[in-house]
Amino acid sequence: MNRVGLTTLKQIAAATGVHTSTVSRALDPQKRHLVANDVAERIAHVAQSLGYQPNRVATSLRTGRSQLVGVLLPDIANPVFAPILSGIAEALATEGYSPIVADAGNESAQQIAFVDNLLNQRVDGMILATVSRDDDVVGHCLDRGLPVVLVNRFEFRDRVSSIVSDDELGMRLAVDHLVSNGHRRIGHVSGPLDTSTGLLRRDGFSRAMAHHALPAHIEEASHFTREGGVAPARALIGANAALTAIVAANDLLALGTFDAMRMLGLRCPDDISVVGHNDMPLVDLISPPLTTIRIGHREMGQGAARLLLKEIEARDGRVQHVILQPELIVRGSTAPWRTPDPP
Amino acid sequence: MNRVGLTTLKQIAAATGVHTSTVSRALDPQKRHLVANDVAERIAHVAQSLGYQPNRVATSLRTGRSQLVGVLLPDIANPVFAPILSGIAEALATEGYSPIVADAGNESAQQIAFVDNLLNQRVDGMILATVSRDDDVVGHCLDRGLPVVLVNRFEFRDRVSSIVSDDELGMRLAVDHLVSNGHRRIGHVSGPLDTSTGLLRRDGFSRAMAHHALPAHIEEASHFTREGGVAPARALIGANAALTAIVAANDLLALGTFDAMRMLGLRCPDDISVVGHNDMPLVDLISPPLTTIRIGHREMGQGAARLLLKEIEARDGRVQHVILQPELIVRGSTAPWRTPDPP
DNA sequence: TGACTTTTTGCAATCGATTGCAATATACAT
DNA sequence: ATGTATATTGCAATCGATTGCAAAAAGTCA
């Protein structure tokens, strides 16, 4: 049953007295020149007045292109994904594509189930924000000839394009900021090390500390969540290294660090300075306002969509890694370190 | 060109020596009984081993059902939509449906363009989080026979089902909380009055104040954003009504109210108590932690998806309005009102 | 064995748009 | 007028799954 009032090629053909193939050609800018000018104009006019819009499903079946892109997120509720998704949706829309969003969690098996589902919808490509290192989801897509782009995280193999923030630079900015404010004993609450962000930020932290010839104290969180940050932060603080600052691998972990400090009766930044990562919404409003590393998430989403569209068009499997420059945002959670015993 | 390795009915038919129609029936639980048992089993086995998954595009073209649902959001970046979208995606996934998300903004013309696009994708239904009062988007969908459900906001006509929070109750909770803490001079930063949330919350505020025989001071914000809250908050404070508390129509407006107070050198809750609405993520961490009205956004999204799926199945146009109970969350932005001159 | 059910299977059309190929029409040259 | 090139148009197959109808096969009963 045809949906109410939706015009088909056949109707236009009937109304103009030509064959559907002629109508199809007349309405396709690429093929319009194959049709006599007056006829094409007549067809365009009728199509216009009937409000004709091509049925994408039929087009998709015939051509194999659906104008749909799958977007796999590990957790929609995580505030960093909203601007990424927004950027993706925007960039896709300008090229006539639409995103199908899947909140696929962190388990590989479930992610693959979602990919298969999207594959059945015949999406033209996939944007993954989910990958952990050496993920099998990427291979799964690639095996099936599906273009893939990674966003926010990337894998340590050169199979597909990606767009991420310069995590190493971000950590250097954070550490340099603290060091230039007199901090020397600095700890790091790292993210899960099976994600590129977790690993690269940890490495970036270590290298930045080494550069200043300082020892790196590190504890790993199991998840990028506020709750996940509490235990490692407590561990760092309790390790009697007398830390004066903590760099967290993302803002949520920084919030968990605040929680841990509160439990231990420590104050920020008076006792310990804290730096986050991401500059997600509202962290400027919490108390104290969070010093953090700003990442252009929206631009990241746009870039991911553009990379994917390019690959969909060209299908040359050309791998490209875009790295965005992060920016240090200084707020109230960091303060200069006063010498232990003021005069 | 067929995507690498994707099995079709025809291949299974060839492999089992039967006609595609038989394969189709054997794999459809509804029709399996029309096929001899042994044959059906053989087919199922082959289908399994070839990893057959029906091409949704073909099914969609033939049956007119795409298993896709359009979701129209006014602003993905707004934190309240993340949990709503998450709930929608989850509830849809359990029934084999997927959401196509459109960040459609607030302009009716653009929203309609997105609807048309989704219509071309032959979505089975639409979830709108965008409606303003007496919106033409709803009519546009209805005219085309597309099932629609409204989420978070609703329209003042009884055309389609909706799921919203009890805005009036929410405001009553807020006002009662303030009054029971000794506040008498209470203002309201309302949302745009062309949205149901804006209007209903304003009315709820007025009624709750009237119930206590108190005068209602109200200023309207042009948008539900932090920036949009500043001007009306300043206006309220400047109106020399000596307000002791402000109820904002949502959390972002409450944050704008904080901004305005900061500009004016006022402190919260010492000088003025503030109540928000939504309990979006992180408002428990800002300074002072925001007293607000919690809404089950995730449940709201799930409910919307379920309402829509029901309508898609039944197509009886039965209109249903679900109203969720909000909850008062008391935090640090509200405090008892001390008499102006303490002893 | 023949008549009649019931079960199982295949045929072919269909959804709507696209496209290679062939057919017709028109223009141009000789 | 004839031939050749070019511009238009139509035909029919195709993408993959579904489904009404008819044909074939199997089962039942007298």
Domain ranges for chain A: 9-54, 65-165+297-325, 167-295
Please name which of B197, B212, B178 lies closest in space to residue B250, comparing C-alpha atoms: B197
Whether the CB of A290 is below 8 Å from some CB of chain B: the reply is no
pLDDT attached to residue B229? 95
Task: Please report which confidence band the pLDDT of residue B334 belongs to, taking 50, 70 and 90 as the band edges.
Answer: very high
Residue B189, SS3 per DSSP: strand
Q: Is A32 exposed, middle or buried (0-12, 13-18, 19+ CB in 10 A)?
A: middle
* CATH number given to B66-165+297-325: 3.40.50.2300
Nearest CA-CA distance, residue A45 and chain B, Å: 19
For residue A153, what pLDDT is reported? 85
pLDDT of res. B79? 83
- Cβ separation of A99 and B98 shorter than 8 Å? no
Per-residue pLDDT averaged across B95-119, rounded? Answer: 92
A226-238 and A251-263 helices, crossing angle to 10°:
50
Pick the CATH number of B9-54 from 1.10.3470, 1.25.40, 2.40.50, 1.10.260: 1.10.260
Averaged pLDDT for residues B38-52: 94
Half-sphere exposure of B259 (CA within 13 A, CB side): 18
What span, in angstroms and rounded, lies between the C-alpha atoms of B194 and A245?
A: 48
* Average pLDDT of the residues in B272-285: 92
Quote the pLDDT of residue B286. 86
- The answer to whether B213 faces chain A, any CB pair under 8 Å, is no
**Tokens for A129?**
């924000």
**Token pair of B43 as six digits:** 């087919």
User: Residue A1's pLDDT band (boundaries 50, 70, 90)?
Assistant: very low
Residue A84 near residue B78 (C-beta atoms within 8 A): no
In whole angstroms, D21 C1' to A25 CA is: 36
A134: tokens are: 């050496």
Q: How many CA atoms lie within 13 A of A54 on its CB side?
A: 19
Q: How far apart are CA B139 and CA A188, in angstroms?
A: 55
**Residue B26 amino acid letter:** A
B100: nearest CB among A55, A99, A281:
A99
Overall fold of domain A65-165+297-325:
Rossmann fold (3.40.50)
Give yes or no for CB of B20 within 7 Å of strand C: yes
CATH code for the domain defined by B167-295: 3.40.50.2300
Beta strands (DSSP E) in chain A are: 68-73, 98-103, 125-128, 148-151, 161-165, 186-190, 217-220, 245-248, 273-275, 292-294, 321-324, 327-329
Residue % of chain A over a pLDDT of 70: 97
Residue among B56, B84, B110, B225 with most chain A CBs within 10 A, to mutate: B56
Our measurement of the distance from residue A252's CA atom to the centroid of its chain's CA atoms, rounded to an integer in Å, reads: 16
What average pLDDT does chain A have?
92
User: pLDDT category, B201, cuts 50, 70, 90?
Assistant: very high
C-alpha B36, offset from chain centre: 48
What is the predicted pLDDT for the residue at B342?
Answer: 44
Note the pTM of the prediction, 2 decimals: 0.90
* Res A3: pLDDT: 56
Q: Return the C-alpha torsion angle B102, B107, B108, B114, nearest 10.
A: -20
Instruction: Spell out which residues of chain B touch residue A114, defining contact as CB-CB under 8 Å.
Output: 93
pLDDT tens, position by position, A282-301: 888 888 999 999 999 999 99
Fold agreement between B9-54 and B167-295: no
pLDDT value at residue B99: 96
> Which residues numbered 141-180 in A keep a CB inside 8 Å of some CB on B?
143-146
